[in-house]
Amino acid sequence: MKNIILIAPPQAGKGTIAELLNKKYALAHISTGDILRDVASGNDEIGVYVQETMSQGAFIKDEIIYQLLEKRLQEPDCKNGYVLDGFPRNMEQAEKYEEILNVIHQKIGIVIVIDVDKELLRRRVTGRRICKECDAIFNINFEEKMPRYESVCDKCGGELYQRSDDNLEAFETRYQTYLDVTKPIIDYYTEKGIVAHIDGNNGLDEMLKSLETIITGKKVNE
Ligand code: AMP
């Protein structure tokens, strides 16, 4: 199975898609955001730096990312392919990634870009609520995802919270950074002929259909 790089603006559904790819194709799901949230839960110097930087919607220093990623990519579950969710995010990271690939003898694989309108993303980000107990995700801006009570989990009764970077200000920063810094990577990979786009505006089922076409090789020819 090919390795996959998922590129998308914040809250486009990268994490959900990566999880589905993990279940269906046994591709390891590597989310740099999740790895960093783990680091941020520590009270040491690096934990505090990561926590503060993430809550502003800014990028963590590249050197920290490389160390964490290189270690993660060498874990056994990555041998048969993996999905990168949240990396690379700038051209320096894209170039460094190719060096890392040489060291670990892996191939770049394919790049899947999820395209979603900004207004839809803004509503998703500002409405997202997560259960502290069972991690269930709700959204107070979409009727079909609303919890019955604004701060209580429908599934387990746990308290719902808002991720520190799920606020409007951080979203605007993250979205602008996506346009300025992350989008140029798409052009770089497009020139290599390894990019496929999926439309993320029409819900998960539509995204999954497009994904199948890509994974089964009908859309991207390496
Ligand atoms: P995500 O969960 O992918 O939306 O990432 C959440 C936050 O983690 C981002 O806003 C950044 O602060 C940080 N982050 C995740 N991946 C990277 C990366 N590759 N480089 C720098 N910062 C990152």
Q: Is the pLDDT of residue 219 over 80?
A: no
Q: Is the pLDDT of residue 218 over 70?
A: no
| Alpha-carbon distances, residue 172 vs 25, 54, 107, 125, 183 (angstroms) | 34, 13, 34, 10, 15
Q: Which pLDDT belongs to residue 1?
A: 67
pLDDT in tens, 160-179: 999 888 889 989 999 999 99
DSSP strands (E only) in the chain = 4-7, 28-31, 82-85, 110-115, 128-131, 137-139, 160-161, 195-199
In short, whether 9's Cβ falls inside 6 Å of ligand 1 is no
| Distance in Å, CA 12 to ligand 1 centroid | 14
- Which atom of ligand 1 is nearest to 50's Cα? 12
Q: Is the pLDDT of residue 220 over 60?
A: no
Q: Which pLDDT belongs to residue 222?
A: 42
pLDDT in tens, 92-127: 999 999 999 999 999 999 999 999 999 999 999 999
